[in-house]
Amino acid sequence: MNQVNDCDELDCVLKKSGRKLVVVALSSKRCGYCKLTTPYLESLIQHMPDVVFIKADVSESQELLEKFKCTGLPAFHFFHNNNRVYFFQGANTEFLGKKIQELRRLCN
C-alpha cells in the first residue's frame, strides 16, 4: 500500500493513477479500529491490482487532517480521475469491500 505523508505526495499519486479507482485510507497509529481494518485492506490489495490503495496517517500530518476534515477514524475517501467520488467512515469491512467492488465496476 502506498504511504503518503502530505498533500503534495497525495496529489502526485492521484494524478499518476489516471482512470483507476483510488482508495485513500486515513488512519492513526493510536486508532484501534484502524488496526483492525489494515489486514483487510492488505488482502484487498492482493485481489484488486487495478485499484490504487493509499494509506495516510493523519496523526503524523496536520495538513492531511485538515484537507479531509477528518472527524473520525478510520476514514476512506474514494477518487476517480482525481475527483472524490465517495466517502466512508468506520470499520465495517463488509460494507467497505462491497463499496470498493461497486465503485471499481463503475470506474472500469
Is 12 catalytic? The answer is no
Per residue in 56-107, pLDDT (tens digit) is: 999 999 899 899 988 899 999 999 999 999 999 999 999 999 999 999 999 8
Beta pairing class for 21-27 and 51-57: parallel
| Given the residues 7, 31, 70, 107, the one annotated as active site | 31
Give the domain ranges of the chain: 2-107
Please report how many Cα atoms fall inside a 13 Å half-sphere around the Cα of residue 44, on the Cβ side: 23
Task: Write down the CATH superfamily of domain 2-107.
Answer: Glutaredoxin (3.40.30.10)
Which alpha helices (H) appear in 24-92, and where do they start and end? 32-47, 62-67
| Given the residues 7, 34, 70, 107, the one annotated as active site | 34
Confidence (pTM)? 0.94
Is 107 catalytic? The answer is no
